Amino acid sequence: MTIRVLLADDQAMIREGFSVLLGAQPDIEVVGEAVDGHDAVAKVAELRPDVVVMDVRMPGLNGLEAARQVAGQAKVLILTTFDLDEYVYEALRAGASGFLLKNASARELSDAVRVVAAGDALLAPSVTRRLIEAFARLGAPAPPAVRAGERPGERLTGRETEILRLIAHGLSNAEIAARLAIVEQTVKTHVSNLLAKLGLRDRTQAAVYAFETGLVTPSGRRPAEPV
């Protein structure tokens, strides 16, 4: 199946370069380009792409607000110049599926589009985790998925909680299956169940949830169990 991609960046050279790189892939089609966030939102509605490759810093409506508006209509792959850009963390909370540095290679870009389109794994786990950890320390409010007085992960089974922790550490379904000595399809089922129970859109939001609620700590250690 061909992956339909919309490119959103205020720099024409970036759009043209990415369009050539992605257009050379047999399974990817660039269906349009947007010059800013407002344009991106309009073209998502018009063109119905599978993935939006979205710059963070754009005039008018920035990539963060645009990602929030199109989340649910298309997967969003955020582009950033800096690997510790606060906008990236907020974009993850807004529903973006991942992010990529602008100096990524052609192969990294095309692979990132495929990963985001599949919704199967966190993009660039080591960098994603570093971002989540850095901004989790800011003490952001708990996501809406946490009910008043509820302990993080209370609605999950033990296995689902274990898998959620591994998702937060950036492991793919295949890696989780190998770690837990179970088949990958079983992991996919657990992931679908835990997302539904927590009211989360995708794996990226699940990772943010795990860090923000303290289910996984920025240091990687599990918090002490309540008495």
CATH topology of domain 3-119: Rossmann fold (3.40.50)
Check residue 87 and give its pLDDT: 63
Does 27 have pLDDT greater than 90?
Answer: yes
Partners of residue 71 on adjacent β-strands: 74
For the segment 10-22, the average pLDDT, to the nearest whole number, is: 91
| 8 Å CB contact between 100 and 123 | yes
Q: Which residues contact 61 (CB under 8 A, 6 or more apart)?
A: 36, 37, 38, 40, 41
Could you tell me the two tokens for 180?
A: 């837990």
Q: Which of the following CATH numbers is that of domain 149-227: 1.10.260.40, 1.10.10.10, 3.30.2290.10, 1.10.3720.10? A: 1.10.10.10
Instruction: Answer whether 0.85 is exceeded by the pTM.
Output: no
Helix 158-168 × helix 184-198 angle, to 10°: 90
Residue 148's pLDDT is 46
Q: Do domains 3-119 and 149-227 have the same CATH topology?
A: no
* Distance between CA atoms of residues 128 and 124, nearest Å: 6
Segments making up each domain of the chain, as ranges? 3-119, 149-227
Give the pLDDT confidence of 66-112 residue by residue, as tens digits.
Answer: 988 998 899 898 887 765 556 666 767 777 777 777 777 888 889 88
> What pLDDT sits at residue 136?
56
CA–CA dist 21, 151 (Å, integer): 46
Residue with the larger pLDDT of the pair 82 and 156: 156
Is the pLDDT at 134 greater than 90, yes or no?
Answer: no
pLDDT band per the 50, 70, 90 thresholds, residue 222: very low
Residue 121 has pLDDT above 60, yes or no: no
User: Residue 63 — φ and ψ, nearest 5°?
Assistant: -65, -30
